[in-house]
A and B are shown apart, each in its own frame.
Chain A
């Protein structure tokens, strides 16, 4: 199993450009999450999904949109990138207790995004 994968690994954007980050998991997890990590601030939750076709806002959702059309994929979109969105983005997934899983979130390798 590949676990949680993220595409791309690195990206440089100019202010105002748009892009989509892809997260994929092959563990059949119901829950998926997008975090951003900035120096000295830990990880902050952007958006999350509790199942296919559902999404919800996290702590810092402004400037981002998400979609979960397939259970295994969770997309994070930036419609008009800003320098403040320069960060490392991590996707994570976790199972439900009904599925017999624990509470651990499994993280992807991250995407380093720079907005100039």
Chain B
């Protein structure tokens, strides 16, 4: 089955700096790569996703890049703010007519310091 590795496990940045979180996946058939943000005690919420026919996607301060050849994808957050502090999870799946079975990475605890 699919295996997703995520690095780093913790990341501390100064407010206004950029943060980068990286993930690799094992199954070359995976074609959907979402990123979820989870605040302490809350549910995971989708912040951005990308499909394998796209190399990069951007939404305001958040961007995701995908390298299918190397089987890795990254989350980039620019101009970080204290409210960006949370745990971020990457995931991968093969979109079919049989549901969207996500395999998650182990998470990155991002801390944005004032």
A residues contacting B by CB (< 8 A) are 31, 33, 40-45, 48-50, 56, 58-59, 90, 94, 96, 103-105, 107-110
The closest CB in chain A to the CB of B32 belongs to: A103
Prevailing SS type, chain B contact patch: loop
B107 touches A109 (CB 8 A): no
- A26 smallest CB distance to B (angstroms): 16
Choice from B6, B9, B102 contacting A45 with Cβ under 8 Å:
B102
- In the complex, what distance in Å separates the CA atom of A110 from the CA atom of B89? 16
Task: List 5 A-B pairs, minimum CB-CB distance, nearest first.
Answer: A42-B104, A107-B43, A43-B104, A42-B106, A50-B99
Beyond A31-B100, A50-B99, A90-B43, is A103–B105 a contact (Cβ under 8 Å)? Answer: no
B residues contacting A by CB (< 8 A) are 1, 6, 9, 32, 34, 42-46, 49, 51, 89, 95, 97-107
The closest CB in chain B to the CB of A58 belongs to: B101
- A41 smallest CB distance to B (angstroms): 6
- A33 smallest CB distance to B (angstroms): 8
Residues of B within 8 A of A50 (CB): 97-99
A42 touches B101 (CB 8 A): no
B99 touches A43 (CB 8 A): no
B104 touches A31 (CB 8 A): no
Residues of B within 8 A of A43 (CB): 44, 89, 102, 104
- A48 smallest CB distance to B (angstroms): 5
Choice from B32, B103, B107 contacting A59 with Cβ under 8 Å:
B103
A108 touches B43 (CB 8 A): yes
A103 touches B43 (CB 8 A): no
- In the complex, what distance in Å separates the CA atom of A43 from the CA atom of B51? 21
Interface centre among A48, A50, A105, A108 (most CB of B within 10 A): A105
